[in-house]
Structure 1
């Protein structure tokens, strides 16, 4: 077990003692007074000893405790105590660490003097009441002031010995204030006003000693801070540096509280109270720059690390075990298109002994819909920020759609697509820089926004009064497609082939030898949140596919001009592939498909026996399963006078299979 003796005469000393105890250390904390003992709660792993120790007593304590380290966190003015601790460590061969207080920056509006005597000499030339906050030990120096019994108001510890000493100096009654600090700015202000003080005497006791609160209170009340500068600066470590050094000890466990905090839109007003509390108590705030700065501005006082990638966040925490309380700022709500899901899992795996929790926030959906006065229980909700999303397709099928955007031209691009696809009258509500002073919210029709460029930090809500419900089955009528001279897979064959493909909503599909694009169009409608690539070598046919894409508003369809298999090389790996025309390259095409995705599902249409033979050879050559071969013969009725004659179409072989991953 890691043992330590801490001379905890300061706030930093109390903090390092608790920090060591929480990490499984065995700590003996030494404090000079009973007041100090009250600041630390003794218990398992933390022993508290009250009372001043001589050097010999320190040496005896070190021999009894056998600590791995002795930490000197005494007050910067306790020079003699520090010297005794150093000598005792040297005599008993103990590791010594000096823990320094955070020294406040010098302020131009304060009067700085070298010592108490200098403060008294300065105050002799002034008039007005004085609040003395330097303690009782050197209070006698202020008796040299003329009328000190009327001018001086001393704030000291309420120990009997201290009160008696003040009474001996004839500083008593309302001129004597017995209290334990540090004090808030408000309480300092109240005392200065209560006693009508025009001067406040203080030592530069650092941030933890309440110097800033005293200084700001004095200025607020129109009083002059008289600051006694610190002794010559001694060498040592800050609290952060001390933790970083001790955290490397293998006997100490890594024990953290990590909170993934949804910070709302970014302004302090959209933080939840719990979110604010987590940020304010955190020693380290992590997040993308905008979010981390928002958390800091909302009252966070810890260090800040700008990062949003899960792997880098986890890596940073591994490299900096000194941080115990961490807040990771995430946009909006942690459960609404957030990076929290991946990060949460990674943190739990990386730090199994730590507490990792999520703190919900106000999502952009809730905030924005409230701002425009719209309910959202029947809204189609999505995001196109950093992810593929067929937004026009969703708007085509849904009366109400909400989406997060992520680029300056996001609104413009959507408006142009909606206009091209015949949805130019859709009403679009745009929200930018939500919750910030420059927040912008407005509503226009799609056709009015085709040249708009806005802020990437934006959301939209779209209402489409003329939605077109998607067919739940395959089989768009042949007449619905623009035909031209390109070959087309007929409705019945197309229906069977698509059924054999077994598409999902997010499938990545190839239509090889796409012709008019009828199969690709139906693929795109079925895999509405996936992607479809129509591969066609003839330019006039490729243009026809683009026209059909526009007619059916299939924004997730992309035309790739060229001959397979070469044209397939740059495309993302498919989950499904339909081969309607191979130009004699069937084997090479299937080989490439299986290389891109060994588990791809393939459907091949064959008209000629030569293609059938080639397809059968493919089934034998490559590792595939779920093989199925059917022949479809379709006849259509044709009116001849008063009669209906059945006219046969060419018989089609439909061959389907699925790749098998080796191993």
Structure 2
């Protein structure tokens, strides 16, 4: 079998991309280009040799014999008909396998189509106004037949010395000679059309890689006539993706992908960074939600998905798209799917992934409002539940990503319900779009918000509470009635023994007034506290204290433990202030839910203490500790102060550990 070598006639962007693909996979390539400039565009690699002499058919045959490639790939320009015929004949003569790599055709809008340059000149002779010619320098002489061509023609050609000299000789010079390397963006084309007051743009139907769609779009935006020199007769051949797929199979080439996770900003082209645009432009495949693919306004192959597994599977099924861009809304590092997808991509050794940040909606919205956000709490309601109330309670500024118009209304209703109805609230809808709208009001007034789903919420609370650094809210802060309450000194020690984390799931069994549950909820701002209570009067008090303290992450469960615990999420920490004689069943239920749960039990009577000790002997526990707290408070008697003792409370704490003996 012949060595893995390719002889490549590379006159197009697709040819360059194929050369890059092959040498990265250790395939030896010899590339033939027409000019030194074409050589400069090819990658520098020891496996790639390059010649830039123009070859006739005989020279091509000699080169094929000398190089002995497995395949000859013709990636010359679609208008280079003579070169293609010579390559074909040479391959037939020496019996070398021939592959024609075709450019993909772009989509044209309103245009006048002609067969060749001569027909374009004939059409333009009957018109008036400036003409931008983008068909290259080789056929530029044809345009000198136009009346007043030196005034009308603006030629955009390659920035190569001999090209510029030729244009000068034809009388196209100065401002009328534009030496630049393309392809060009829509914005650049549009700027040129306006700068030179162009009435007609002449272009070949050079495909996506040749920048044809961008020319069409710019002409339409500027109201410029488009003269399109149609493609030559339909050729048989394969696209770049098809060639890659074919060579991969025939030459057993290794799959390899470069994947960019691109934050696209708010969704419009204006909020996509230059780095993001470049990554999208270079990608052969764009992946993202439908809205994001539309926002990218690119013409590559696309796949609509935002699920990591689907994305990775599709990439691996299509090795021909080795350069991929995955589009993500906003900034890829801010409440984005990038983290999950990046982790999944990094598990694939053949995928090289990178993240390109975008402009977050928070940064954009705060800039529109004229407020800084370095001291703001940032939250999201998009596909998640968050303790927004805690953020509002403890921060002057809170910025929230809304998942829908309904989530805006629900948040404003909740703020109003918890006494924050008068707070200033701003909603930014469809940010950066033509339909952008910023609404300012209060939480109460925006309960009936009817704007767009794509929204960001700004809440301002000038009277925010910074949050206490230690446990022990004063007893007087709680509504009590005739329901027993854990006093602040005992509550402080009990909460300390629970070892709460910021995201803990906590049970308060026998919650009473809810003093422990409420204070725990104020500490576990990213977690949830479940207050379990069977008495109606106590349940009502817990609800009132919840509203008073604005503890939105407190869930009241009316019922008797252990049955009331069965449907609750797995707990991290459990406080038992009252068991109603069901302590053994409660602990057994907790153990079955989480064999490593942290447990704190408060007792007043010796009988309950004995029961706790018995249960601890039956359960696998560690870090057990028994502390008795005897609190005395001063009481004024005339001009004297006397200490008055409260009932001593025993605080038992332990951590469940491992399996019971009978389960081992």
Structure 2 partner of 1:287: 288
Partner deviation per Cα, 1:548-590 (whole Å, 9 max, x = no partner) = 2112111110112223233223222221111223344333333
Residue 649 of structure 1 and its aligned partner are, at CA, apart by 4.8
CA shift in 2, pair 1:650/1:68, >3 Å: farther
Residue 485 of structure 1 and its aligned partner are, at CA, apart by 4.1
Cα distance in 1, alignment partners of residues 211 and 637 from structure 2: 102
Structure 2 partner of 1:12: 14
Answer with 174-183 or 460-469: which moved more. 174-183
Answer with 528-537 or 630-639: which moved more. 630-639
Structure 1 partner of 2:266: 265
**SS of 2:542 mapped into structure 1:** helix
Alignment of 1:258-657 (within 5 A): 258-294=259-295, 296-297=296-297, 300-351=298-349, 354=352, 356-634=353-631, 649-657=646-654
CA shift in 2, pair 1:638/1:250, >3 Å: farther
CA shift in 2, pair 1:198/1:436, >3 Å: closer
Cα distance in 1, alignment partners of residues 541 and 105 from structure 2: 74
Partner deviation per Cα, 1:455-486 (whole Å, 9 max, x = no partner) = 33222332324334533332334343223444
CA shift in 2, pair 1:517/1:380, >3 Å: same
Q: Does 1:74 align with 2:71?
A: no
TM-score in terms of structure 2 length = 0.80
Cα distance in 2, alignment partners of residues 175 and 273 from structure 1: 33
Partner deviation per Cα, 1:403-442 (whole Å, 9 max, x = no partner) = 3332313333333333332333222222222222222223
User: Structure 2: where are the runs of 5+ without partners?
Assistant: none
Q: Does 1:48 align with 2:46?
A: no
- For the Cα contact (< 8 Å) 1:574–1:593, is it kept in 2? yes
Cα distance in 1, alignment partners of residues 544 and 306 from structure 2: 41
Residue 500 of structure 1 and its aligned partner are, at CA, apart by 0.8
Cα distance in 2, alignment partners of residues 473 and 175 from structure 1: 81
Cα RMSD between the aligned structures?
Answer: 4.8
Cα distance in 1, alignment partners of residues 417 and 180 from structure 2: 73
Cα distance in 2, alignment partners of residues 189 and 392 from structure 1: 49
Cα distance in 1, alignment partners of residues 610 and 25 from structure 2: 72
- For the Cα contact (< 8 Å) 2:74–2:84, is it kept in 1? yes
CA shift in 2, pair 1:343/1:353, >3 Å: closer
Partner deviation per Cα, 1:622-658 (whole Å, 9 max, x = no partner) = 3332111233344556678898776655544322111
**SS of 1:450 mapped into structure 2:** helix
Count of aligned residue pairs for this structure pair: 643
Cα distance in 2, alignment partners of residues 552 and 226 from structure 1: 71
Structure 2 partner of 1:230: 232
CA shift in 2, pair 1:36/1:517, >3 Å: closer
**SS of 2:444 mapped into structure 1:** helix
Answer with 424-433 or 516-525: which moved more. 424-433
Alignment of 1:210-229 (within 5 A): 225=227, 227=229
Cα distance in 2, alignment partners of residues 439 and 187 from structure 1: 28
Alignment of 1:66-105 (within 5 A): 66-76=68-78, 82=84, 85=87, 95-105=97-107
Q: 2:27 aligns with which of 8, 25, 28?
A: 25
TM-score in terms of structure 1 length = 0.80
Structure 2 partner of 1:169: none
- For the Cα contact (< 8 Å) 1:500–1:603, is it kept in 2? yes
Cα distance in 2, alignment partners of residues 188 and 637 from structure 1: 83
Cα distance in 2, alignment partners of residues 353 and 291 from structure 1: 23
Partner deviation per Cα, 1:277-330 (whole Å, 9 max, x = no partner) = 333333333333333432x23xx4433333334443333333333334433333
User: Structure 1: where are the runs of 5+ without partners?
Assistant: 167-171
- For the Cα contact (< 8 Å) 1:513–1:537, is it kept in 2? yes
CA shift in 2, pair 1:210/1:555, >3 Å: closer
- For the Cα contact (< 8 Å) 2:257–2:350, is it kept in 1? no
Residue 604 of structure 1 and its aligned partner are, at CA, apart by 1.8
Residue 520 of structure 1 and its aligned partner are, at CA, apart by 0.7
